[in-house]
């Protein structure tokens, strides 16, 4: 556990008692703070009471009068589409608002670090798509290289639940826009932006607000190294802002769209080969095509980001290549779950927006595509260039019929449920094709989360194999 410092003897309120909220409450208490906890959900309040926290209705008049800080869980909106009333009350009372990420960065370094030969490092990864795979791949490479590493944040453990890092250890964080937009301290040693595509637009008041939330990771603390995907205008803009000159090697530009030029430091993937260039010369190359856990251009972009982060830590290209070949991937992200009679079944339930689903479709030449769910703003425009890969779409979700209207002349079938979609796709798939779950939509119309949706897909694939 990371003990939160700076609040010994002070009262700190925690709003939202899910994983990050309870973790923050425990770390605050361990650091000497008096914690007042609140959640609209009665079961969450009971869990907090069972752990000995004082549960207090923070919406009551004067509830924040004695509070030094309000700590908010990431799922609670603080500005768009409308501020949570308790957060608005904190503004009115002049109470600072933070989240567990801000508490982590303000509390990570301790006096024990004075004894270390090599200071711990923090690598923070954000972006619209691929950040989980990128963060996990970075942690995998670091671990294979022999260094102590912990993976946390939006993946794995909560940031305040990790062990205090030791001499030379590395902490890899995956951070969502919900986490970066509010944290009062953001000081990673290495910051990574994989890419940017429209997502969570209602929460951020549009694409500009969404980009601003991501940009804070680079602007608030000024990382020693910035690794930025430059395949979109926002990434090119941010990279330009971070560099002091064309040859500034504190910036590493990454791309999966083609060769990058210039005298600076760049890592790009083209035709399945990753290349590292510095000062106008190629210094290393990796053939990504045989790596089963990293299929397609989107995963090659993830590999570029992970490679760049590992190089910032001084890990040699050959070591990185060997680690890549041992990477097994993450569940629900380009996950190969079965192969029968020449047909592969791939679970990419994490493809919850059109841009990520487009990348998944682009990775395979002929696809039986299971799609649909709770639609997001922006429509399916990013997918249209890749619909030629689709032999047929099988649409799920409570509003499957309306989702299917977006497919126009693509052969499709309204299936509504996962069971029907998998059964129909399995029966019709031909050797060489891929049955791909890449929904291009959120899961909440039928499932608690994308993990539950992916698990259902896997179960139905197994059932179809027994039929």
Question: Considering the chain, what is the average pLDDT of its residues?
Answer: 95
Q: Which residues are annotated as a binding site for ATP?
A: 127-133
Residue 390 has pLDDT above 80, yes or no: yes
* pLDDT given at position 461: 97
Whether the pLDDT of residue 379 is over 80: the answer is no
pLDDT value of position 289: 93
% of the chain residues with pLDDT over 70: 100
Name the pLDDT band for 31 (thresholds 50, 70, 90): very high
More confident residue, 243 or 221: 243
Q: Helices 19-30 & 100-107, crossing angle to 10 degrees? A: 30
Q: Is pLDDT of 378 > 90?
A: no
Omega cis (within 30) before 114 = no
Residue of 303, 313, 252 whose CA lies nearest to 273? 303
Q: Give tens-digit pLDDT for 332-341.
A: 988 999 999 9
CA atoms within 13 A on the CB side of 300: 26
User: Can you tell me whether residue 46 is helix, strand or coil?
Assistant: helix
Q: Strand order in 34-38's β-sheet?
A: 54-55, 34-38, 11-15, 69-72, 97-98
**What pLDDT does 221 receive?**
82
pLDDT of residue 400 exceeding 90, the answer is: yes
pLDDT confidence of residue 247 = 95
Task: Give the burial class of 432: count Cβ atoms within 10 A of its Cβ; 0-12 exposed, 13-18 middle, 19 or more buried.
Answer: exposed
Residue numbering of the annotated binding site? 127-133
Please name each of the domains of the chain with its CATH number.
Answer: 11-98 (3.40.50.720), 108-325 (3.40.1190.10), 335-466 (3.90.190.20)
pLDDT of residue 294: 92
Answer whether 168's CB lies under 8 Å from 199's CB.
no
**% of the chain beyond a pLDDT of 90:** 90
pTM, two decimals, is 0.87
pLDDT at position 438 over 90 = yes
Residue 123 scores a pLDDT above 80: yes
3-state SS, one letter per residue, for 170-181: EEEEECCHHHHC
Tell me, what's the pLDDT at 373? 95
Local confidence band at 355 (pLDDT 50, 70, 90 cut-offs): confident
For 383-411, what is the mean pLDDT? Answer: 94
């Amino acid at each position: 556990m990371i003990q939160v410092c700076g609040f010994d003897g002070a009262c700190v309120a925690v709003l939202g008692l899910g994983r990050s909220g309870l973790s923050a409450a425990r770390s605050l208490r361990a650091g000497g703070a008096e914690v007042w906890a609140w959640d609209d959900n009665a079961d969450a309040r009971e869990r907090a009471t069972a752990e000995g926290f004082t549960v207090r209705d923070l919406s009551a008049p004067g509830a924040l009068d004695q509070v030094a800080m309000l700590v908010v869980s990431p799922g609670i909106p603080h500005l768009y589409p409308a501020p949570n009333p308790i957060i608005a009350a904190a503004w009115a009372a002049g109470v600072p608002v933070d989240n567990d990420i801000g508490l982590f960065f303000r509390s990570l370094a301790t006096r024990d670090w004075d004894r270390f030969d090599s200071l711990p490092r923090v690598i923070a990864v954000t972006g619209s798509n691929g950040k989980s795979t990128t963060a996990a791949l970075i942690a995998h490479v670091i671990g294979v290289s022999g260094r102590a590493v912990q993976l946390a944040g939006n993946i794995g453990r909560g940031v305040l639940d990790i062990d205090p890092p030791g001499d030379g250890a590395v902490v890899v964080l995956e951070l969502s826009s919900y986490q970066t937009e509010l944290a009062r301290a953001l000081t990673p040693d290495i910051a990574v932006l994989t890419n940017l595509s429209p997502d969570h637009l209602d929460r951020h008041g549009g694409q500009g607000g969404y980009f601003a939330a991501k940009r804070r990771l680079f602007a608030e603390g000024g990382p020693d190294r910035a690794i930025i995907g430059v395949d979109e205008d926002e990434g090119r803009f941010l990279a330009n802002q971070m560099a002091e000159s064309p040859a500034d090697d504190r910036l590493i530009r990454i791309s999966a769209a083609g060769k990058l030029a210039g005298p600076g430091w760049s890592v790009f993937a083209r035709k399945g080969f990753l290349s590292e260039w510095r000062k106008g010369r190629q210094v290393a190359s990796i053939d990504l095509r045989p790596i089963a856990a990293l299929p397609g251009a989107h995963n090659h972009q993830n590999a570029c980001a992970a490679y760049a982060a590992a190089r910032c830590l001084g890990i040699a290209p050959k070591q990185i290549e060997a680690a890549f070949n041992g990477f097994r991937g993450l569940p629900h992200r380009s996950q190969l779950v079965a192969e029968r009679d020449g047909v592969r079944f791939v679970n990419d339930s994490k493809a919850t927006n059109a841009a990520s689903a487009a990348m998944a479709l682009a990775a395979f030449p002929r696809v039986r595509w299971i799609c649909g769910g709770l639609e997001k703003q922006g429509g399916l425009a990013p997918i249209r260039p890749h619909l030629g890969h689709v032999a047929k779409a099988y649409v799920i979700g409570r509003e499957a019929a309306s989702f299917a209207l977006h497919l126009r002349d693509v052969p499709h079938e309204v299936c509504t449920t996962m069971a029907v979609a998998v059964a129909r796709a399995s029966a019709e798939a031909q050797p060489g094709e891929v049955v791909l779950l890449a929904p291009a939509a959120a899961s909440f119309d039928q499932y608690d989360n994308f993990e539950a949706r992916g698990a259902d897909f896997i179960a139905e694939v197994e059932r179809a194999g027994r039929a």
